[in-house]
């Protein structure tokens, strides 16, 4: 039971991005970090998997079903993309925004369970106190937490997180990644997070995918990928890792 990306091709006009991208199956219950330098196609890959972009070739299948054959609505129920930009100017309340992930498109009122679920997730992310505020009043980090809450409430089979911690403070980063890890295991879903903080990624991810030159260049455990020469080359830096006395993976990078 997994997400399978095979032979994926895609490009923007005058700018080919992927030509036959292939990844070993992304398994349920596994938190994968998608890493790679800026502009390598992490967000585009997410959009392709979520169906926001259509590939020019190749297939993406979820539990054996081709996602291109699913209806847009069905696909959006099973695969959710937390977009990189979470700032919004919508005149909506925090609770309304999170609940939107639950409301069916045919209108109608939210059920008791849905409201309870939203409450639960607001508490899990420690943003319950923001629930009466307008999203436009919130800081960038708070807006990101609200978007994350929406993603978790959505309860998809595949959770794609595009830099989910980019605007968060130190404690929030750890809390969010821990929660994402827990949710991935407990709900047995496929979670892929694009992360630039390799220490944070190394600490919570089960697996690393390094994207480089339109393909998955290295695939393996955090240590394997971090120590691989291609990773250092892709970023153009030197990378060293060590374990602290508490067993935490620390990634040190330097310009070479």
Instruction: Give the binding site for other proteins (CB under 8 A).
Output: 13, 50, 52, 72-73, 75-77, 80-83, 85-86, 88-93, 95-97, 99-101, 103-107, 115-116, 118-119, 122, 128, 131-132, 134, 137, 147, 154
Measure the CA–CA gap between 91 and 80, rounded to whole angstroms. Answer: 23
Measure the CA–CA gap between 176 and 204, rounded to whole angstroms. Answer: 10
Shortest Cβ distance from residue 127 to other proteins (Å)?
Answer: 10
Shortest Cβ distance from residue 75 to other proteins (Å)?
Answer: 7
Residue number, 95 or 204, with CB nearest to other proteins? 95
Residue number, 27 or 103, with CB nearest to other proteins? 103
Query: What is the chain's alpha carbon radius of gyration, rounded to the nearest angstrom?
Result: 18
In the block, which residue shows the tokens 């977009």? 83
Token pair listed for 71: 């209806």
Question: If you ran DSSP here, which 8-state letter would residue 215 be given?
Answer: E
CA-based nearest residue to 235, from 221, 250, 217:
217
Shortest Cβ distance from residue 123 to other proteins (Å)?
Answer: 8
Measure the CA–CA gap between 40 and 211, rounded to whole angstroms. Answer: 7
Shortest Cβ distance from residue 163 to other proteins (Å)?
Answer: 14
Residue number, 154 or 228, with CB nearest to other proteins? 154
Shortest Cβ distance from residue 49 to other proteins (Å)?
Answer: 11
Residue number, 99 or 152, with CB nearest to other proteins? 99
> Given phi > 0 = left and psi -120 to 50 = alpha, else beta, which region is 233?
alpha
Token pair listed for 240: 């060293």
Residue number, 47 or 207, with CB nearest to other proteins? 47
Residue number, 145 or 226, with CB nearest to other proteins? 145
Shortest Cβ distance from residue 161 to other proteins (Å)?
Answer: 11
Measure the CA–CA gap between 25 and 33, rounded to whole angstroms. Answer: 14
């Amino acid at each position: 039971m997994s997400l399978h990306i095979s032979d994926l091709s895609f490009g923007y006009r005058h700018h080919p991005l992927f030509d036959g991208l292939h990844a070993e199956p992304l398994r349920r219950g596994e938190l994968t970090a998608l890493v790679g330098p800026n502009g390598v196609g992490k967000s585009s890959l997410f959009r392709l998997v979520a169906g926001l972009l259509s590939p020019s070739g190749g297939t993406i299948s979820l539990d054996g079903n081709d996602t291109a054959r699913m209806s847009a609505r069905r696909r959006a129920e099973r695969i959710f993309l937390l977009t990189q930009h979470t700032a919004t100017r919508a005149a909506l309340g925090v609770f309304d925004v999170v609940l939107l992930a639950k409301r069916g498109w045919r209108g109608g009122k939210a059920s008791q369970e849905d409201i309870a679920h939203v409450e639960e997730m607001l508490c899990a992310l420690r943003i319950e106190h923001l629930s009466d505020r307008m999203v436009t009043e919130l800081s960038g980090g708070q807006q990101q937490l609200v978007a994350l809450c929406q993603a978790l409430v959505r309860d998809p089979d595949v959770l794609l997180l595009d830099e989910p911690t980019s605007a968060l403070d130190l404690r929030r980063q750890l809390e969010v990644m821990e929660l994402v890890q827990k949710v991935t295991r407990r709900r047995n879903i496929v979670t892929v997070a694009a992360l630039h903080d390799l220490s944070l990624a190394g600490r919570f991810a089960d697996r690393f995918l390094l994207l480089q030159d339109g393909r998955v260049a290295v695939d393996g455990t955090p240590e394997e990928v971090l120590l691989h020469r291609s990773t250092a080359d892709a970023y153009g830096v030197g990378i060293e890792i060590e374990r602290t006395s508490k067993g935490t993976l620390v990634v040190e990078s330097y310009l070479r």
